[in-house]
């Protein structure tokens, strides 16, 4: 069983930066593709960034490209999402998961692991 715990969210002003962490335990995550998702109130959950499992390829939604960077530290069993130049529209609960999708998702796929989420609020 893999457990994922996100941290690093908070309340910031537009233009600020945050780094989210997703710490894995129970087993190593290196065999999984890892994704960061977000869900704003009243909106579908959407994938914003992915890190491939085999070649560490990175993928980003157009809305965050150039501002967000996904990375991992296998020694710490942790995946990160560096978020720069934050905008009010980035406000959401951010989740990490063993799932790689860019764009809206309509349902949680079975046999994937998800964290509990961390709130990011960006004020204008």
What integer pLDDT is reported at residue 31 of this predicted model?
84
What integer pLDDT is reported at residue 34 of this predicted model?
94
Tens-digit pLDDT profile for the chain (124 aa)?
899 999 999 999 999 999 999 999 988 777 889 999 999 999 999 999 999 987 789 999 999 999 999 999 989 999 999 999 999 999 999 999 999 999 999 888 888 999 999 999 999 9
What integer pLDDT is reported at residue 54 of this predicted model?
79
Q: Which tokens in the block code for residue 89?
A: 């529209």
């Amino acid at each position: 069983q893999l457990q994922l715990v996100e941290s690093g969210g908070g309340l910031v002003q537009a233009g600020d930066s945050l780094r989210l962490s997703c710490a894995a335990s129970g087993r190593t995550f290196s065999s999984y593709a890892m994704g960061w998702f977000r869900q704003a109130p009243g909106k579908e959950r959407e994938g914003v960034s992915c890190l491939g499992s085999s070649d560490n390829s990175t993928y980003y939604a157009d809305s965050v490209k150039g501002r967000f960077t996904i990375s991992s530290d296998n020694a710490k069993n942790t995946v990160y999402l560096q978020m720069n130049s934050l905008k009010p529209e980035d406000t959401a609960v951010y989740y990490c998961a063993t799932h790689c999708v860019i764009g809206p998702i309509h349902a949680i796929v079975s046999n994937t692991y998800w964290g509990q989420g961390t709130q990011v609020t960006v004020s204008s």
